[in-house]
A = this chain, B = another copy of it.
Amino acid sequence: MGALYNQVADQLQALINDGVYRAGDRLPGVRVLSRQFGVSISTVLQAHQTLEARGFLQARERSGYFVRLPSHDVPEPSMPDQRTRPVPVSAREMALDLCADEKKQMVPLASAVPHPDFLPVRQIQQSTIWAARRGLETLDYAFPGKACFRRQIAQRMATIGVPVAPDDVLATNGAQEAIILALRAVTHAGDIVAVESPSFPGILQALDVVGLRVIEIPAHPSEGMSLEGLQLALEQWPLKACVVVPNHSNPMGARMSDERKLQLVSMLDAAGVPLIEDDIYGDLYHTGERPRPAKAFDRSGNVIYCSSFSKTVSPGLRLGWMIPGRYMAGVRQHKYFVNLATSSLPQLAMAHFLEQGGYDRYLRQARQNYGEVIERLRSAVALSFPAGTAVSKPSGGFVLWIQMPDCISGTEVYQRARQEGINVAPGLMFSTTNKFENCLRLNAANPWTDRIETAVIRLGALAHDASNRAS
């Protein structure tokens, strides 16, 4: 029998195992449970802690206890092998199909775009109306960015360990443009650039636009780019840049530790290779503290920091920024050449939203939403997919990486799901070298509904089918 709180814990665990409470569900409050089990509140609290230690519950600040799947139930994906040669980039057009598909009312598990329910629609509307009333300020030409926007960005950057002046900031049409400007500033067509593997397809597309060759460095599912792999590549190839997403990478959700960020920055600085950092998911950590960007460890101006509000406030604003460090002159010139400046209106609206504190208030809710949906999605995948499936365990952001057994074709699952109105991203998109054929990426930025859950279960069934056909 054991202590009273252990009995309560066992009963709660049985309810979880029976599916009464499912992963992602919030447990009833302590007073309710105290009445339900006829025990004291302190016993309930001890039972909670016990289940947390067993891996069945997760405490969330000011929100109570949530059911989680014990982490040992789903292994993390394995690291890919390192390729020995750089290859030319020919980014896949599949992204365009995905984009078109999502407009057709398919279940939106493919693109990493937040569902409208998760966007701060009313708040940003107020800031946009404020901006619209600025009259001439919305119409004049803002190269290399609106002063008020750059000032707000500089203030935010200081809070995450990157003290910069407004003049060090350049406004862009999203992070994608920022990465392209960075690549243009430090490379020429045909140069070799290192990226993580699996890679965010946008980064591969950026390399394609600039005409670069890529060397893919294996990434650990929770620790990010292999620094040993990078060291090897630095020794073997005349790298001209390295593009990394150190915080909650896409698609794996890995987060490099501060120690590894420092090491990454130092290695590249010593080698004279610019580091292009994409921090677009940095603000979307699920718990704890805002992780610092690699730029916070940059002492020489060798890190080109890129980010945007497309994954937080809205993809439709098309508003990003970059801190190009010592590459500012080249970046400025390229920005001017490609489209002169970034639209003034979104910059004014975001400056107001930031200044009023609306962004921080919104982030608190968004982080919790994404953490919850990721947890539910992980559980649903673990329950539905064939044995041997591994799932990433992101500590931030809203994408999930699924590694199925080698015999299962992610492309086949993608194609069959598409016919059934379910949109997912096939693993092939995340490499230029036909790796990750057995993988899928799921977008977790949707409110958890029966429709979503049913779609994930169906994906699992399609994976089982593919597995049966293969064997």
Residues in A lying within 8 Å of B, measured CB to CB: 91, 93, 95-96, 99, 113, 116, 119, 121-122, 124-125, 128-129, 131-133, 135-136, 138-143, 172-174, 176-177, 180, 184, 189, 202, 205-206, 208-209, 211, 313-319, 332-334, 336-346, 349
A139 B113 Cβ-Cβ under 8 A = no
A208 to B91 CA separation, bound complex (whole angstroms) = 23
Q: Once the chains bind, are B138 and A128 in contact (CB under 8 Å)?
A: yes
Copies of this chain: 2
Shortest C-beta distance, A407 to chain B (Å), equals: 33
Residues of B contacting A133 in the complex (Cβ-Cβ under 8 angstroms)? 125, 129
The answer to whether A343 touches B121, judged by C-beta atoms less than 8 angstroms apart, is no
Q: A339 to B139, Cβ gap below 8 A? A: no
In the complex the two chains form, is B339's CB within 8 Å of A177's CB? yes
Which of B176, B184, B340, B346 is close to A345, meaning CB atoms less than 8 Å apart? Answer: B346
CB proximity of A71 to chain B, nearest CB, Å: 34
Q: Of the candidates B93, B95, B135, B318, which one forms a contact with A122 in the assembled complex, judged by CB atoms under 8 Å apart?
A: B135
Given A129-B129, A135-B121, A211-B189: A140 touches B340 (CB 8 Å cut-off): no
Q: How far is the CA of A316 from the CA of B137 in the complex (A)?
A: 8
Chain B residue with the shortest CB-CB distance to A318: B343
Task: Specify which of B93, B99, B139 is in contact with A317 (CB 8 Å cutoff).
Answer: B139
The interface residues of chain B lying within 8 Å CB-to-CB of A184 are 209
Q: Smallest Cβ distance from A314 to chain B, in angstroms?
A: 4
17 of the cross-chain contacts (CB-CB < 8 Å) are A96-B336, A116-B139, A119-B139, A121-B136, A128-B131, A141-B315, A174-B339, A176-B340, A180-B339, A189-B189, A208-B337, A315-B340, A316-B343, A317-B343, A318-B339, A345-B345, A345-B346
Pair A139/B316 contact, Cβ less than 8 Å: yes
- Residues in chain B near residue A345, CB distance under 8 A: 128, 316-317, 343, 345-346, 349
A-B CB proximity, top 5 nearest: A139-B314, A128-B132, A316-B344, A141-B315, A318-B343
A279 to chain B, nearest CB (A): 18
Chain B CB count within 10 A is highest, among A93, A174, A315, for A315
B residues less than 8 Å from A342 (CB atoms): 173, 318
**B174–A140 CB distance below 8 A:** no
| Chain B residues positioned under 8 Å from A143 (CB to CB) | 99
- Chain B min CB distance to A265 (Å): 27
Known: A211-B211, A316-B344, A343-B343. 20 other contacts (CB 8 A): A96-B336, A113-B141, A116-B140, A121-B136, A139-B315, A139-B317, A140-B316, A141-B315, A172-B339, A173-B339, A176-B337, A176-B340, A189-B211, A205-B336, A205-B337, A208-B337, A316-B341, A316-B345, A318-B341, A318-B343
Given contacts A339-B176, A343-B345, A345-B345, contact A93 B333 (CB under 8 A): yes
B125 and A132 form a contact (CB under 8 A) = yes
Q: A119 vs B132: C-alpha distance in the bound complex, in angstroms?
A: 15
What's the Cα separation between A404 and B316 when bound, in Å?
48
Report the bound CA distance from A313 to B138 in whole Å: 11
When distances are taken between beta carbons in the complex, the residues of chain B under 8 Å from A336 are 95-96, 99, 205
